[in-house]
Amino acid sequence: MSPTALLTRNDFAPSEADDFGVALGSLDTPIGQLNLAATPQGVVRIGFGYMEAREDMMSELAELPCSTGQGDPAWVDEPIAQLREYFEGRRRRFELALDWRLSHGFYRRVLDELMTVDYGTTVSYGELARMAGSSRAARAVGTAMSTNPFPLIVPCHRVVRSDGSVGEYGGRPEVKTWLIEHERSHCG
């Protein structure tokens, strides 16, 4: 995976709208295809194509109370543009509205704290647990990372093991390593 590869909209999976107010988009990145879903409130979900099909992601979203009618495909345009800038090394912080319906309680608190971890840096699961106010909850932090509805935007790839090793990331530690190295190479 080359850090110079550019993010482009997937021509075979254009943005489309479903029947309950969620817009969908897909894009190819140096780490594989990303699937995005957005509501009028903001990005509601990002999924890795190698982990789940768009249909699986939509099954998860079908249980949410959403507005009736079709979502506006334009809702995914800005998230796609900002992700493109991120992969090009031109964006360090996302400025997007997020629809937090899929995250609650402690997991949400962990993700809120995670958003304060700077681009190009890492934090351990234990450190993030302390930041979220539960110093003994490192394993729960790991679960929060695995249920993060907004990978990349809420940078769970910046959370590493206490020994500095990367650990898992959607079942592919090489993706996490690539993201950490990508950020570090654009910090200068």
Q: What tens digit of pLDDT does each residue of 110-137 get?
A: 999 999 999 999 999 999 999 999 999 9
Amino acid identity, position 88: E
Enzyme catalytic residues: 156
Give me the pLDDT at residue 21, please.
79
pLDDT tens column, 54-75: 667 777 777 666 544 467 888 9
Q: Please give the pLDDT value at position 167.
A: 85
Beta carbons of 36 and 79 less than 8 angstroms apart: yes
Give every CB contact of residue 72 below 8 A, 6+ residues apart in sequence: 17, 23, 40
The pTM for the full model equals: 0.83
Q: What is the pLDDT of residue 77?
A: 95
Report the pLDDT value the prediction gives residue 19, as an integer from 0 to 100: 43
Domains in the chain, please, with CATH? 8-87 (no CATH), 105-185 (1.10.10.10)
**Residues of the chain falling short of pLDDT 70:** 1-20, 53-55, 63-70
Would you list the DSSP string of 26-56?
Answer: EEEETTEEEEEEEETTEEEEEEETTT--HHH
Q: What angle do CA 71, 72, 75 make, to 5 degrees?
A: 110
Residue 71 — left, alpha, or beta (φ > 0 → left; ψ -120 to 50 → alpha)? beta
Dist. CA 61–CA 91, nearest whole Å: 28
Concatenated DSSP letters for 73-119?
Answer: GGGGHHHHHHHHHHHTT--SS----B--TT--HHHHHHHHHHTTSPT
CA of residue 33 relative to chain centroid, distance = 12
Cβ count near 139 (within 10 Å): 11
* Burial label, 6 (beta-carbon count in 10 A; 0-12, 13-18, 19+): exposed
